[in-house]
Amino acid sequence: MALDSVGSTNDEAARLADAGAAEGTVVWARQQTGGRGRRGRSWASPPGNLYTSTILRPGGPAARAPELGFACALAVADIVPAGRAVRVKWPNDVLVDGGKVAGILLESAVAAGGAVEHVVAGVGINVGFAPQLPEMRYPGARLGGTVEAALEGYAAALAARLAQWRRDGFAAVRAAWLERAGPLGETVDVRLGEELVRGRFGGVDGEGALLLETAAGPRRIVSGELLGHAA
């Protein structure tokens, strides 16, 4: 579904999913008037960049739904032109040439028994311009090219990464993600609500949780925000 303008592609995709739309249904818009990111943040969505949400029906327990975010991040990384430095950042960002080029927002509907009914995988990709994010340690970056080309490439790459996830499990996706996540042992800062934790990046575990080696010992972080290199 292509739209000139929508409040949120995630909201529109969720409405379609609730009505029975099939896995792989894509909603994209040239602009959003109510785009959002993680933790309720607004996502600036004027024309020129790609705003898209894909309906996924992975089945299985809700605890596995976050694995799809890693597949989405890899799909974005897969379409970055050769010669540019690509890096994925836990839990949901993609960096190109040191700047943020994309963010991912997964929203799930869970049945009473705990199984996933559907997941809406929302992705915003900077194509034509790069918004600057003063609250982050990274500048914005843009992919370049056209929105239509970015959509076509991302949809194909996402289908391939989802096939990998279903065929080989999260272990294969995790391994591919770690190859693009930056060096283990790098000192990073992680925001946990009002708390700022510093430690050495230890990768992610088999459930997608961040592993951090801090001065007080190892920590396993399920929900937080990796800010990047320690100052």
Per the prediction, the chain carries an average pLDDT of 90
Tell how strand 26-32 and strand 2-6 pair up: parallel
Share of the chain above pLDDT 70, in %: 91
How does residue 7 score in pLDDT terms, banded at 50, 70 and 90? confident
Q: What are phi and psi of 22, to 5 degrees?
A: -75, 160
Fold of 2-179: BirA Bifunctional Protein; domain 2 (3.30.930)
Confidence of residue 114 (pLDDT cuts 50, 70, 90): confident
Q: Using CA atoms, how far apart are residues 100 and 56, in angstroms rounded to an integer?
A: 25
Query: How far apart, in whole angstroms, are the C-alpha atoms of residue 29 and residue 12?
Result: 10
Q: Architecture of 187-229 per CATH?
A: Roll (2.30)
3-class SS string, 133-155: CCCCCCCECCCCCCHHHHHHHHH
pLDDT bracket for residue 4 (50, 70, 90): confident
**Angle at alpha carbon of residue 147, lines to 226 and 124, rounded to 5°:** 25
Helix 67-78, helix 147-168: angle, nearest 10: 130
Instruction: Copy the structure tokens of residue 31.
Output: 């602009």
Res 45: pLDDT: 73
Domain boundaries, the chain: 2-179, 187-229
pTM tops 0.75, yes or no: yes
The per-residue pLDDT for 36 is 61
pLDDT digits (tens, 9 = 90+) for 133-181: 665 567 889 999 999 999 999 999 999 999 999 999 999 999 999 999 9
Q: Give percent above pLDDT 90 in the chain.
A: 71
The pLDDT score that the predictor gives to residue 38 is: 54
State the average pLDDT over residues 71-77: 98
pLDDT, position 32: 81
Q: How many angstroms separate the CA atoms of 158 and 168, rounded?
A: 15
Condensed to tens digits (0 to 9), the pLDDT of residues 21-32 reads: 999 999 999 988
Average pLDDT over residues 61-84: 96
Euclidean distance between CA atoms 50 and 177, whole angstroms: 22
